[in-house]
C-alpha cells in the first residue's frame, strides 16, 4: 500500500542518514582536538568546520525549511556559510569547538528524525520536501570526501586504516574502444535523487571518438615526466604553462623522487613507492591536458564521457551505471572509502561497459575538457547556491567518482566540478581521440 511504501522510504532515508553520519564521525573521531581545529592546508577547512557545517546545512534545509521548527542555534549560521568565508579564513572564526560541534550535529539529527517522521513522502510533497533529505545526505557525503582530502593533506602518523584495494584480475584487452557517432540521452529526469545540475534529460549528438579503456596509470605518467613533460612548453596550453611556471609543478601532488630516481608518494601518512598500475591521482586539469597532448591525444568532453559510461547501443537507452542499472556492489567499483587508494587497472572487470571501458566509476575522478555549465533547461533546485553560482565558466567538470566518493553518487549522470588548478582532490584522467574519417564509417 502507499502507506507501507512511504514507511519503507522513510526507513531507507533514516538508514542513509545514519550510515553517512558514521563516516563523518569516523573521519573526525580519528584525530585529536588539536588536529580537528588545525588547518592542514589553506585549501581546506579545519575538520571541525566541515562537521559543524554539515549539521548547520541539515538544520537550515530540514529542521527549519521542511520541518518549520526553530533552530537549535541561529547565531552560528554565518560562521558556516561557505560563501561568507573562504576556506583559508575559517580557522580564525569563533567556531564551535570539537565537543560543541559534536553536540550540535547530534542535536540537529534528533530534530531531523522527528521531521522525517511527520513529513509526508508522496506526490508533490515527496518531490518538494522528500528531496531535501536526499540532498542533505549527498551534501554530507560530499563533505566526507572533502574531509578525506583534508586527511590526505595532514602530516603525521596514519590514523585512517582500510584494507588494500583488490588486485588486477582482468585488465582491459584493448587500449581504446571506438564509440560510434550518434545521439544519446544525457542527464536525467528519472533519477529521484539527481541534483539540479544533472537535469533535465536531453538528446545530445556525439561524433565518433575513441576512448581509452582505462585511466592513465602512474607508470604512464612517470614516463611523461621522464620525457621532460614538465618542461616541454609545446605540450601545455597557454593557461596551463603559466600555471606550471607559477606553481612550479614537477610531479603529481604528494610525489617525491629519491636519489636513484624511484618515485615515492605520501598516502594518508604512509610513504610508499608509487604503484605502477594504479590510476594517477592528484593531478590538475593542466597536467592532464599536457599529458594527453604528449601522447597525441586529448581529454574526453563531458558528453563523450557520459555517452561511453551510459549509452546502451542495444536498446538506445542511457543506463544508470557503466555495467547496467544494478546498484554498485564492492565488485563493481572502488567507492565509499572502503579502500584508501585507487585500485590497479583491471581490478573491476565486472564494472566495465559492454564495450570494455573499465573503471569509469570509482578509483579517481576524471577531468574532462568541458567547463561546468547548465544543461539547456537547467533550473536551480532547491537552492541557487548548490550549482547555479558555479556556472560561470571558471570551473571544470570531473566525472566518475573516486575511492572516496559514496556509492550513492555512482550514478553516471552525477557531475562534479572544481577549479582547473586543484590537485588535492582525488582526480586523475583518461585520454580520448577523434575518430578518423575511415574509422567513422
Cβ distance to ligand AVJ smaller for residue 143 or 293: 143
Residues 134 to 173 in contact with ligand AVJ, rule: CB under 6 A: 139, 142-143, 146
Is residue 20 near ligand AVJ by the rule CB under 6 A? Answer: no
DSSP E strand stretches across 209-359: 209-212, 255-257, 263-267, 270-273, 311-312, 317-318
Q: Please tell me whether residue 218 adopts helix, strand or coil conformation.
A: helix
By beta carbon distance, the residue nearest ligand AVJ is 142
> Considering only 108-116, 232-240, 330-338, 414-422, which stretch makes contact with ligand AVJ by CB under 6 A?
414-422
H/E element, 432: strand 432-434
- Residue 322 DSSP symbol: T
Least distance from C-beta 405 to ligand AVJ, angstroms? Answer: 9
Nearest to 53 by CA among 129, 114, 111, 104: 104
With CB under 6 A, what is the number of residues at the site for ligand AVJ? 7
Residue with smaller CB distance to ligand AVJ, 57 or 359: 57
Task: Indicate the residue among 111 and 143 with the shorter CB distance to ligand AVJ.
Answer: 143
Helix axes 47-58, 98-118, angle to 10 degrees: 20
Beta strands, E only, 132-222: 176-179, 182-186, 202-206, 209-212
Q: Select 146 or 289, whichever has its Cβ closest to ligand AVJ.
A: 146
Please list, in sequence order, all residues whose beta carbon lies within 8 angstroms of the beta carbon of residue 107, skipping any fewer than 6 positions away: 72
Q: Is 416 in the site for ligand AVJ (CB under 6 A)?
A: yes
CA distances, 200 to each of 184, 194, 306 (Å): 14, 10, 14
Cβ-based nearer residue to ligand AVJ, 287 or 418: 418
> Between 109 and 244, whose beta carbon lies closer to ligand AVJ?
109
Under the binding rule (CB under 6 A), the answer on residue 255 touching ligand AVJ is no
Q: Does 235 bind ligand AVJ (CB under 6 A)?
A: no
The answer for 280, left when phi > 0, alpha when psi is -120 to 50, beta otherwise, is beta
CB of 24 to ligand AVJ, least distance (A): 13
Of residues 209 and 395, the one with the C-beta less far from ligand AVJ: 395
* DSSP 8-state assignment for residue 130: I
Nearer to ligand AVJ, 83 or 261 (CB): 83
Min dist. Cβ of residue 85 to ligand AVJ (A) = 13
CB of 372 to ligand AVJ, least distance (A): 9
Site for ligand AVJ in 55-84 (CB under 6 A): none
Cβ at position 148, least distance to ligand AVJ in Å = 12
User: DSSP string of 326-347?
Assistant: SPP-TTT---TTSSSSPPPTTS
Per the CB < 8 A criterion, the answer to whether 175 and 65 are in contact is no
Question: What does 24-90 look like in DSSP terms, one character per residue?
Answer: HHHHHHTS-HHHHHS-S-TTS--HHHHHHHHHHHHIIIIIIIIT-PPPS-STTGGGG-TTTS-GGGG
Smallest separation, CB 146 to ligand AVJ (Å): 5
- Residue 315, classified by CB atoms within 10 Å of its CB into exposed (0-12), middle (13-18) or buried (19+), is exposed
How far is it, in rounded angstroms, from Cα 230 to Cα 431?
Answer: 18
Buried b / exposed e across 3-14, counting CB within 10 Å, b at 16+?
Answer: eeebeebbeebe
Quick one: 61 or 348, whose CB is closer to ligand AVJ?
Answer: 61
The answer to the question of residue 417 lying near ligand AVJ (CB under 6 A) is: yes
Supply 327's cell numbers.
546498484
User: Nearer to ligand AVJ by C-beta: 129 or 418?
Assistant: 418
Give the shortest CB-54-to-ligand AVJ separation in angstroms. Answer: 9
Between 212 and 418, name the residue whose CB sits nearer to ligand AVJ: 418
Helix (H) or strand (E) holding 371: strand 365-371
Q: Compose the 360-399 pattern: x for residues touching ligand AVJ by CB under 6 A, - for all others.
A: ----------------------------------------
Q: What's the CA gap between 410 and 333, in Å, rounded? A: 9
Whose Cβ is closer to ligand AVJ: residue 60's or residue 431's? 60
* Residue 283: closest CA among 414, 142, 157, 396: 396
C-alpha of 435 from chain center? 29
Q: Note the residues at the interface with ligand AVJ (CB under 6 A).
A: 139, 142-143, 146, 416-418
Amino acid at each position: 500500500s502507499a502507506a507501507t511504501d512511504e514507511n519503507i522510504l522513510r526507513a531507507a532515508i533514516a538508514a542513509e542518514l545514519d550510515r553517512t553520519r558514521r563516516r563523518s564521525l569516523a573521519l573526525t573521531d580519528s584525530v585529536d582536538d588539536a588536529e580537528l581545529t588545525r588547518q592542514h592546508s589553506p585549501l581546506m577547512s579545519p575538520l571541525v568546520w566541515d562537521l559543524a557545517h554539515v549539521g548547520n546545512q541539515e538544520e537550515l534545509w530540514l529542521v527549519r525549511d521542511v520541518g518549520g521548527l526553530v533552530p537549535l542555534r541561529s547565531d552560528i549560521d554565518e560562521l558556516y556559510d561557505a560563501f561568507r568565508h573562504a576556506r583559508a579564513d575559517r580557522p580564525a572564526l569563533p567556531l564551535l569547538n570539537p565537543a560543541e560541534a559534536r553536540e550540535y550535529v547530534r542535536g540537529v539529527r534528533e530534530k531531523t528524525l522527528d521531521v522525517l517522521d511527520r513529513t509526508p513522502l508522496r506526490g508533490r510533497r515527496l518531490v518538494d520536501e522528500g528531496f531535501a533529505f536526499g540532498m542533505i545526505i549527498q551534501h554530507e557525503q560530499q563533505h566526507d570526501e572533502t574531509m578525506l582530502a583534508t586527511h590526505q593533506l595532514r602530516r603525521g602518523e596514519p590514523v585512517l586504516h582500510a584494507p588494500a584495494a583488490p588486485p588486477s584480475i582482468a585488465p582491459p584487452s584493448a587500449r581504446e574502444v571506438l564509440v560510434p557517432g550518434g545521439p544519446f540521452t544525457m542527464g536525467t529526469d528519472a533519477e529521484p535523487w539527481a541534483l539540479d545540475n544533472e537535469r533535465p534529460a536531453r538528446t545530445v549528438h556525439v561524433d565518433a571518438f575513441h576512448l581509452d579503456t582505462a585511466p592513465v596509470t602512474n607508470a604512464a605518467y612517470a614516463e611523461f615526466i621522464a620525457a621532460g613533460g614538465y618542461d616541454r612548453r609545446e605540450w601545455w596550453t597557454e593557461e596551463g604553462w603559466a600555471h606550471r611556471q607559477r606553481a612550479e609543478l614537477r610531479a603529481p601532488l604528494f610525489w617525491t623522487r629519491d636519489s636513484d630516481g624511484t618515485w615515492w608518494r605520501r598516502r594518508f601518512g604512509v610513504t610508499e613507492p608509487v604503484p605502477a598500475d594504479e590510476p594517477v591521482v592528484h593531478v590538475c586539469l593542466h597536467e592532464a591536458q599536457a599529458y594527453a597532448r604528449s601522447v597525441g591525444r586529448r581529454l574526453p568532453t563531458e558528453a563523450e564521457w557520459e555517452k561511453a559510461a551510459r549509452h546502451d547501443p542495444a536498446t538506445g537507452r542511457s543506463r544508470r551505471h557503466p555495467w547496467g542499472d544494478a546498484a554498485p556492489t564492492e565488485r563493481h567499483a572502488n567507492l565509499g572509502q572502503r579502500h584508501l587508494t585507487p585500485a590497479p587497472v583491471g581490478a573491476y572487470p565486472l564494472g566495465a561497459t559492454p564495450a570494455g571501458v573499465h573503471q569509469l566509476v570509482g578509483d579517481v575522478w576524471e577531468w574532462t575538457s568541458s567547463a561546468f555549465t547548465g544543461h539547456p533547461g537547467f533550473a536551480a533546485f532547491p537552492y541557487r547556491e548548490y550549482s547555479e553560482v558555479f556556472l560561470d565558466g571558471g570551473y571544470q567538470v570531473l566525472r566518475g567518482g573516486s575511492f572516496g566518493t559514496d556509492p550513492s553518487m555512482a550514478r553516471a549522470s552525477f557531475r562534479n566540478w572544481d577549479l582547473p588548478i586543484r590537485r588535492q582532490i582525488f582526480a586523475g584522467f583518461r585520454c580520448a581521440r577523434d575518430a578518423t574519417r575511415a574509422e567513422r564509417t
